[in-house]
Amino acid sequence: SLMLALSQDLSQNRPAEAREHVRRFHELFFTLSPEKSAIEHNVKRALLLADRSAYNYYADFAEKGFYNRIIAGNINQVLQVDSVVCNFDRYPYEARTYARQMIIRESNVTERTLVTTCQLLNASRSDDNPNGFTIEGFTILENRDIRSMER
């Protein structure tokens, strides 16, 4: 009966774990400081939570000089996840994330929207992936400026 109780608790907690997995991936992948080692560390940790679809965005951003501009411009980028909506009616589970990015420069702060979608696959739990999911088919649907404020 103890094993049954533990397994029921785990399955009841799965939706919360899924949302936390997606939230954590986004925070690691999109919160950036102007230091190469910090960017590499966070992105590496984020990529452990996802498949090649996320790596493809990382490689594309790097190729276009995005991370170099963050470092050269002394820019901080902070992501705040507003909500993660998951559909558990069909496997793989679908998730859509709504977030806001604050791009903090010396002269101004730009606020952007970020909307992404992905599917979640069950995976083995580990120290690198404590919630036991893998993000696949990660896609950025929207990333646009809302406003810019002088500092």
pLDDT at site 11: 61
Axis crossing angle, helix 2-30 with helix 36-47, rounded to the nearest 10: 140
The answer to whether 85 and 102 are in contact (CB under 8 A) is: no
pLDDT at site 4: 54
Cα torsion angle, 52, 71, 26, 141, sign: negative
Give this prediction's pTM.
Answer: 0.91
Mean pLDDT for back-to-back runs of 10 residues, the chain (151 residues): 54 87 98 97 98 98 97 97 96 97 97 98 94 97 97 89
Residue in 29, 26, 33 with CA at minimum distance from that of residue 73: 33
Facing residues of 95 across strands? 86, 118
- Produce one character per residue of 84-99: b if its CB has 16 or more CB atoms within 10 Å, e if not: bebeeeeebbbbbbeb
Domains and CATH numbers, the chain: 2-150 (3.10.450.230)
Task: Work out whether strand 93-104 and strand 76-87 pair parallel, antiparallel, or are unpaired.
Answer: antiparallel
pLDDT at site 1: 55
DSSP 34: S
Task: Identify the three-state secondary structure at position 2.
Answer: helix
Residue 65 backbone phi and psi in degrees, to 5 = 80, 15
Task: Identify the three-state secondary structure at position 100.
Answer: strand
Distances (CA, A) of 138 to 40, 119, 150: 19, 7, 33
pLDDT at site 13: 82
